[in-house]
Each structure stands twice: as structure tokens, then as C-alpha cells.
Structure 1
Amino acid sequence: MPSVLLSLVSWNSADSIEACLRSALAQSWSDFELWVVDNNSHDDTCARVEALAATDSRLRLHRLPQNTGFCGGHNYALDRTTTDLVLLVNPDIEMAPDYLAQAIAAIHRNPRIGTVCGLLLQNQDEDPRIDSAGMVALPDGRYGLRLHGQRLSEVAPLAATYVDGADGALPLFRRRFIDDLRVQGEFFDSRFFAHKEDWDIAWRGRLFGWHTLFEPACRALHPRQFLPSNLRLRRRLNSAIKVDAVKNQWLLLLKNTTREQAPGLLARAIPRQLGILAYSLVAERDSLRAVRYLWQHWRQVLTTRRLVQQRASQPWQPPDEPSAHLPAQPATALQVESSVR
């Protein structure tokens, strides 16, 4: 059995899927299985994947009959595998050949590291702009991309450091972290579909006592297409994505805010969320479906909150003995860049 699963969820990803898969299959750490879970693409994504799969037995295509989103697609793979480690791969990513090897070495430095994220760059310029270097928790319940948009020369040299979370484009997860974060059987909350689900994992991981390590030796290309604060681009998105953007922020706050966090966090979050509600009333009325969704499903949301908060009240438990699949690494002193709960 391979030691690592690479899980890629595709949906009409023909423009980028081949370059992404070639970079994955060229990794120096070769003991992995690569699953492409396709969300009922209508372009030739699957034909391109099948052509590459014919040349490498590690690559497997799983076709789903309907679009289950980022969350549903990855849950499909996570629920059907048992590898020690899982690397999520966005179809628009191109990894450096040693990305996986560097990430595996990093996650083994401390059993409390549940996630490793790397340095994602927007382009291949001589002095590229950074897409993300992990995520940072904001005081109103949102997460921001750390160092996003800055030139690499402006922040170098970068060192390994603990951060508040990992962007969902290319995180390496420990299997025990995945299983510990499951709520009602799900790692990713399928209600999120495809927006802010990485914020949810980051918040829940911190609540449960896990660490996220940013390792700058892990590098990849990721030309990001969408940021929710970009209103000009937002207006061109279909209504379902915009509904998810509103709904999922409220789900985050309702599920994950602890009693201790509530006074300060909600005092900052509520004015912004009221502003978003007002904007929806004036300029984006379809997004009001988020209000209807929460009204219809408030009992289920409260059940999820109870389970999350119950687990958050328990101490972090050390994992089992390190797997023989993982290379031994010496303990390393790390910077800490994380707000404590």
C-alpha cells in the first residue's frame, strides 16, 4: 500500500489538469497513489486524465455522476483510503519536483503537526509574487492568505514557522488529523461545497490542538483566480458561488466560535456581516438564499456546533507511533506565528 494519497478534485479543468498531473507524477517521493475525483466535467478533463493514467499506474480516475464540490470530491477520496498522509492538489497547481518529499520530512518533525503547507507562487518571474505562505486568522472570524501579493524578494529569507492554517490548494495532512477532525463522519463539511472549507479546517484544527507548519522549501505555482474581496470579479461569478461565500462565513462563526472567543470575535464579525447582508439586499439579492438556508437547517447547524465544541473542550491526544513509511527527521526549532485560543 502506498504511504501517501494525492487527492485531486476536478471540474471542467481541462486547461490546467495535464500540467498539474505531470508535476505530481514527477515527484521525487514516488510512493504514492494519485486519485482524480471528477465532479461530472463537461469538457475533456476525463479524457486527458485517462490518457496520462495509461502511462502511469499510480494515477486513477474516479468519475462522480454529479458535482459534489471541493468538499464532496475530497471526502469521497478520504473515505475510501487509509494512507498515512494525504496531499490535496488543486488542478491549477504545478509542484516543484521535491514538494512532496519536503512536506513529508516537515510533518515528521513534531507529532502535533497535522498540516504542512508550502510557498505558493503566482508566476514564474525572476522575482515572483507570492500567492500564499499559509493563512493567518483575523480577529473577526475570517482567514487571510499570508504574504499574498508580495514579491518574494520583499520577504526573503523565509523560515519554517507555525501558522494559523493552510490554504486548501496544496496542504499535506496527517491521517490522524483528518480522522480527529471528522464531525458526523465528515472531514470537510459538505455544506460548504467549495468555499471557505479550508478556513473551517484551519479553525477546527486549532480548536482541537493541532499545529500547521509552513515550510518554504515546499514550492509550487498557483495563479489564483478568485479572492472574495474582489467585487469586480465577484459580480461575474454565478449566484451559487456567491451564496456559498455568505452562507459559509455564517456556518464558520456558528460552529466554531467558543464561549471564550464570542465577546470579542462577534463584536468584530457582526458589523461586517450586517454590511454584507445590506449589500445583498441592495446589489446581490440571490445571496439572501444564505439566510433561508440557515433558517431551514438551524437544528443541524446547532448539532454540529455542539459536537465541535464538545471535542474542543478535550485535550489533544498524541498520535500513535510514527509510521515506518515516514522518514526520520531531527527535532527542529521553529518560529511561532499563530494566535492562541
Structure 2
Amino acid sequence: MTYNSAADIGTCLDSVFAQTYPIQQIIVIDNNSKDNTEEIVTLYPQVYFIKNSVNNGFVGGHNQAISYANTDYVLVLNPDVVLEPTYVERIMECIIQKMNVGAATGKLYRDMESRIMDSTGININKNRRAVDRGAGEIDHGQYDKDMSVFGVSGAAAIYKRAMIDSISNEGQFFDESFFAYKEDVDVSWRARLAGWEICFVPEAIAQHERGWKDNNSRKNISLKTRKHSYINRHFYILKNDKLSYFLLHLPIICTYELACLLYMVIKEPRLISAYQLFFKEYKALKMKRRWIQTNSKVPSKQIYEYFKGIW
């Protein structure tokens, strides 16, 4: 999925075509970009390109691409990611060997030359804040072990089609209530509730720019997107959390929530209106929760062993 990605899309596609593992389909969904993304993508005749007339978000664009794919595995890839040639091959070796693995990711660097990491999967804390493992750390080999992780970043994740089908609700793999950000946390939580394993493969290497995270570029992100970046945490809590564990961790959750509110009042008061999105989606989220919890297949303890740390 792309949106005004002309500066990155060519390099990203070049890295996909350079993969040592055979790629059956390459689908690019453009969410009504205003730059010359389309002009660049059309230089790659092997790519199936669709330009939308509206921006339906990261979530809608990727669901659209997944619906066009007819493969047993799907690589979801941000346009600002550059894959090393063996990225897909190394992950597929892991997934094929383990039948119950539904999703996997590799080691993503923010700056490969300086060895600054961006993500080695997703961790989740008891306050329900999901974070990228290793983000901002210098790579000294501390994440060089294949292991099970709570979730994978949607920046460069491979998902098994059987898992996609098993946790999709009303045709949506990524929940379109999310629009953008933290939809990968929701998918990971749903996958684990459904009994799927999720893996990190350190031999699979990629670089992910993730430029908007600094303060200057954040100001250039639309208010709608920034609202979703904040409130979507509440979405995945409502959908996936077990009441008993939510109550157990409630003091930690409330403390974190208060800290967020104080930040918004002082730094970004317009973000407070994000709660309107929560109330708008509340009924739909409750229905999705009912479906998810009904289809849950694993004991709660197996899920919450991944919830470590209070902040």
C-alpha cells in the first residue's frame, strides 16, 4: 500500500524483485497519491497496480491487496522498507518447518549502517502499550535468536493464508476501524487467541525508515492519522482483552492512561477528540469482540505470559 511514496517505492520494489525466494505476485495499492508514485510503479510491468480514488488508509489498502492475492503466503510491506535479498527465503524456511506458525518477521533496522534497530517483533506491556522490540537500540547481537514473539510489525510481515482466513471477520483481515497504526497489534493478538504461533527470524534483514516518528515530521501527519495512532490501543484492548486480566492490571493501565491525557492536554490538545472515534466505533468493536472471544482456542495464561513490564 502506498501514499505519496514516490521517494521510496522504486527502491522497495527493486528489493522485492531481488529476492532469492520466488515471488508469485506483486500488488501495489495506491491510496490516491498526489505525487508521481503511479509514474514510477508503471515502470515495473510485472506489478499489478491499482490507484484508488480516495485514501482508505493502511488497513483498507492492505485488505484490498490481500483480496487480490491468490497465494498461500502474503508479504505485507511498507513502501519505505528495503529487503535484503534473502529476507523472504529465511522467513519461509521457518514458517514451512513449523505448521502452526501463522506470521513471522525479520530484523528491521532503522539505520543499517549504524546498526540501529527498528523492530524485531512486537512486545506488549501490562499497560497494554505495544512496542517494537529493540527499537532504537544498537545491534550487539542481543536479538540474534529465533524465537516466539507476541506479534510482528506490519512493516514487513509474512502471513500464512490459512491464518488470514481463520481470523478474518466479515472479510477483513486488518480491522478497518483502525484506519492506520496498531492494526498489526490487533492482528497479532487475534492470531494468538486463535492458536497461531508468531515468530521472529533474525537472519531475515531489512531496513525501515519510519521517518514520521520524529517531532518535526509528526506535525506533517494528518490529525486523523494521529488520532488513530493514539486511540487504536483502546480498540485492540476492547476487542481482545480478557476481563479478569484487564482488572488485574487496571491500576497500571489507568496510570498510563492518565499520563497520556496529561501529555495531550499540554502538548496536543486536539488529540483529545480521538475519544470520539472510540465511542463512534464502540458497538462495532463490541460485536467484533464477541466473535473473537467465541473463537478463542487457547488458555488466557498462554496469551498473557507475553505481557511483561509495567511501562
Length-normalised TM-score, structure 1: 0.83
Could you tell me which amino acid in structure 2 is paired with residue 37 of structure 1? I
Cross-structure match for 1:159: 145
Contact 1:141–1:265 at 8 Å: present in 2 too? no
CA distance in 1, matches of 2:196, 2:231: 26
Q: CA deviation at 1:309?
A: 1.3
Q: Which residue of 1 aligns with 2:74?
A: 86
Contiguous gaps of at least 5 residues in structure 2:
none
Match of 1:17 in 2: 9
Alignment correspondent of 1:197: 183
Aligned to 1:327: none
Provide the aligned C-alpha RMSD in A.
Answer: 2.3
Q: 2:100 aligns with which of 112, 122, 129?
A: 112
The alpha carbon displacement at 1:153 in A equals: 2.4
How do 1:188-337 and structure 2 match up within 5 A? 188-227=174-213, 234-312=218-296, 314=297
Q: Distance in 2 between matches of 1:13 and 1:232?
A: 18
2:61 matched to 1:77? Answer: no
Aligned partner of 1:173 among 146, 159, 164: 159
What is the CA-CA distance between 1:60 and the residue it aligns to? Answer: 1.2
* Separation in structure 1 between the aligned mates of residue 27 and residue 91 of structure 2, nearest angstrom: 19
Shift of 1:122: 1.9
Identity across the alignment (%): 29
CA distance in 2, matches of 1:183, 1:338: 23
Once the two structures are TM-superposed, the CA of residue 235 in structure 1 deviates from its matched residue by 4.7
How far apart are residue 340 of structure 1 and its match? 5.1
Q: Is the 8 A contact 1:164 1:339 kept in 2?
A: no
Residue 60 and residue 232 in structure 1: after superposition, are their counterparts in 2 closer, same or farther (change >3 A)?
closer
User: Shift in Å at residue 194 of structure 1?
Assistant: 1.0
State how 1:99-138 maps to structure 2 within 5 Å.
99-125=87-113, 127-138=114-125
CA distance in 2, matches of 1:105, 1:90: 22
Q: Answer 1 or 2: which has greater helix percent.
A: 2
Q: What secondary structure sits across from 1:121 in the alignment?
A: strand
Q: How many Å separate the matches in 1 of 2:94 and 2:154?
A: 18
Does the 8 A contact of 1:136 with 1:338 survive in 2?
no
Residues 301-328 of structure 1: per-residue CA shift (max 9 Å, x gap): 211111111112x359xxxxxxxxxxxx
Q: Aligned pair in 2 of structure 1 residues 154, 78: CA closer, same or farther (>3 Å)? A: closer
Which stretch of the first structure deviates more once superposed, 29-38 or 86-95?
A: 29-38
1:155-211 residue CA offsets vs partner (Å, 9 max, x unmatched)? 26x121111110111000000111111123211011111111111112212222211
- TM superposition shift of 1:288: 2.5
Q: Distance in 2 between matches of 1:207 and 1:140?
A: 19
TM-score of the two chains, using structure 2 as the length reference: 0.91
Shift in Å, 1:101: 1.3
Distance 1:116 1:297 in 2: 29
Does the CA contact (< 8 Å) of 1:117 and 1:133 recur in 2?
Answer: yes
Alpha-carbon contact 2:212-2:221 (below 8 Å) kept: no
CA displacement at 1:112 relative to structure 2: 1.0
How far apart are residue 338 of structure 1 and its match? 8.6
2:56 to 61, 64, 68: 68
* 1:35 alignment partner in structure 2: 27
Change (3 A) 1:338 1:90: farther
Equivalent position SS for 1:94: strand
Checking the alignment, whether the CA contact within 8 Å between 1:134 and 1:214 is kept in structure 2 is yes
**Which residues of structure 1 form unaligned runs of 5+?**
1-8, 317-336
Distance 1:130 1:283, change over 3 A: closer
Deviations 1:61-107 (CA, angstroms, capped at 9, x unpaired): 11111101110001001123331000011101111111111111111
